[in-house]
Amino acid sequence: MPSAPATILSFEQARHVVEEHAAALRPSGKELLELLDSAGRILAEPVLADRNFPPFPRATRDGYAVRAADLATLPATLEVIGEVKAGVSVDAAFKIESGKAAAIMTGAPAPPGSDAVVMIEYTSRDGDRVTITKAIAVGDNIVPIAAEAKRGDRLLSPGVRLDHAAIGVAASVGRSRLLVYLKPRVAVLATGDELVDIDVPLAPNQIRNSNTYSLAAQIQAAGGEPVLLPIAPDEPERLRELIAEGFEADLLLLSGGVSMGKYDLVEQALAEFQAEFFFTGAQIQPGRPVVFGRAPGALASKDHKYFFGLPGNPVSTMVTFELFARPMVEALAGATPRKLVFLHAKLKSEIKTKPGLKRFLPAILSGEFEQAEVELVRWQGSGDIAATAAANCYLVIPPNREQIAAGEWMPVLIRQL
Ligand code: AMP
Ligand code: MG
């Protein structure tokens, strides 16, 4: 029987291997959606400015439109010749000559002749006269025409995730529909004789299959469409059948059966599909036995199907998805690849650990404003799904550390929705 040669990589090496393969992936197609339905999806077309932004010199304050040179000596008293509010069109007849001013509101067009807006706080009004007590420079409190974008400029590029700011941009250029990439189909195959579905009565020796659901939620958050396969027993024939079904999707995620036990059959079953293995373990905890590879597609083409064998311990499954599977789902979804970035927070209490593995331990990020603090949750190891649910991040412990004092700044991986 074929089996995979063991390739255990450091965390960073394993992550780079995944990123390299992800970079070559493309989504399978596009669809046109109503603007709000496209929120959270990946844009598949450039979005251009349909006009100049702003389309007129825009006042950014309530106050008076003036000629800055008129305020050379202070206080200066000017004649108020009118009022400009947001939404009005100012014609050339309404011109600010020297010695004149116009009351103006935020968002209104600065009238011809004016070159600055004085904030109302520095003025006092008496009938058609205004007295100004503060000097101003040409251009102050006015955004010039096209300063934000010129008509035809690209404001959004294919590959961006349409967050609320991007939706705002699309709305501002009048796009009521957007072309987005189709979601990739990601098959989830949980393995294990002890597993039962979540909606059937179970015996004391049985375990509910939670990984299929946590993975499905992670797939959705990463922009994929989960395809839930039935539970595979620790039995080669049925496992092979279900793996073959999984390869019909764009990506296959297996959970469980990748450790060294007698009934850990996943690698061997995959090897029988002529799979190539890029790694069969990473020096991390939780998640050490994680497997990444690909199998030739059913058609004799370059059409490979990638897979991950994720360890079955529920926390290992979640962590290895975030660290390794997420970039593949995002790439298949058409998203521009992004690097994994760890933020830093101050350690609340001392940690003692064993060196050798890079650890991603469930932790709670707290504090207020600039005071980010982090603390490990107490847990019973990588099967402890309840402790992990109470956490909101993973504290990253480098492999060379044994003792870390309270007060040290530590890298943290934020847990995504
Ligand atoms: P394995 O990786 O198959 O050796 O499984 C490791 C541990 O994770 C065992 O305690 C399993 O019962 C548990 N486990 C495996 N798969 C799942 C699953 N789909 N849902 C919940 N727990 C699981
Ligand atoms: Mg198992």
pLDDT score recorded for residue 3: 56
| CA 254 to each of CA 135, 260, 263, 296, 359: distance values in angstroms, whole numbers, following the listed order | 69, 16, 15, 17, 22
Query: What distance in Å separates the CA atoms of residue 250 and residue 272, rounded to the nearest whole number?
Result: 19
Q: Which secondary-structure segment (H or E) carries 296?
A: strand 291-296
Pick from 82, 80, 60, 58: which is nearest to 70 by CA? Answer: 80
* pLDDT tens digit sequence for 309-348: 999 999 999 999 999 999 999 999 999 999 999 999 999 9
Peptide bond before residue 75 is cis, with ω within 30 degrees of 0: yes
> Is the CB of residue 192 less than 8 Å from the CB of residue 256?
yes
* pLDDT tens digit sequence for 128-152: 999 999 999 999 999 999 999 999 9
* pLDDT tens digit sequence for 338-374: 999 999 999 999 999 999 999 999 999 999 999 999 9
Q: Which secondary-structure segment (H or E) carries 166?
A: helix 164-172
The answer to which of 39-53, 228-242, 260-274, 288-302 has the lowest mean pLDDT is 288-302
Question: Which atom of ligand 1 is closest in space to residue 311's alpha carbon?
Answer: 2
User: In angstroms, what is the span from residue 260 Cα to ligand 2's centroid?
Assistant: 10
When pLDDT is averaged across residues 56-64 and rounded to a whole number, the result is 97
> Is the CB of residue 32 less than 8 Å from the CB of residue 178?
yes
pLDDT score recorded for residue 13: 98
Give every CB contact of residue 73 below 8 A, 6+ residues apart in sequence.
none
> Is the CB of residue 334 less than 8 Å from the CB of residue 26?
yes
Atom 5 of ligand 1: nearest residue by CA position: 312
In three-state secondary structure terms, 5 is: coil
* pLDDT tens digit sequence for 266-308: 999 999 999 999 999 999 999 999 999 999 976 655 679 999 9
| Structural tokens at position 136 | 């101003």
The answer to which of 20-29, 98-107, 226-235, 293-302 has the lowest mean pLDDT is 293-302
When pLDDT is averaged across residues 64-77 and rounded to a whole number, the result is 97
Closest ligand relative to 207 C-alpha: 1
Atom 3 of ligand 1: nearest residue by CA position: 256
Question: Which atom of ligand 1 is closest in space to residue 261's alpha carbon?
Answer: 4
- Mind giving me the DSSP string for 369-390? TT--EEEEPP-SSTT-HHHHHH
- Tell me which of 191, 195, 262, 264 to substitute to probe ligand 1's pocket, judged by most ligand atoms within 8 Å of the beta carbon: 195
When pLDDT is averaged across residues 218-223 and rounded to a whole number, the result is 98
- Tell me which of 193, 196, 206, 211 to substitute to probe ligand 1's pocket, judged by most ligand atoms within 8 Å of the beta carbon: 211
pLDDT score recorded for residue 298: 64
pLDDT score recorded for residue 299: 60
| Structural tokens at position 188 | 């989830």
In three-state secondary structure terms, 124 is: strand
pLDDT score recorded for residue 94: 84
Question: Which atom of ligand 1 is closest in space to residue 191's alpha carbon?
Answer: 16
* pLDDT tens digit sequence for 143-177: 999 999 999 999 999 999 999 999 999 999 999 99
Ligand 1 binding pocket, CB closer than 6 Å? 190, 192, 194-195, 207, 209-212, 255-257, 259, 311-314, 383
Q: Average pLDDT, whole number, for the chain?
A: 96
* Sheet architecture: strand order including 76-84: 116-119, 63-66, 100-104, 76-84, 129-132, 123-126
User: In angstroms, what is the span from residue 265 Cα to ligand 2's centroid?
Assistant: 9
Query: What distance in Å separates the CA atoms of residue 36 and residue 44, rounded to the nearest whole number?
Result: 15
pLDDT score recorded for residue 174: 98
377 phi and psi angles, rounded to 5 deg = -85, 155
pLDDT score recorded for residue 62: 98
Query: What distance in Å separates the CA atoms of residue 85 and residue 107, rounded to the nearest whole number?
Result: 8
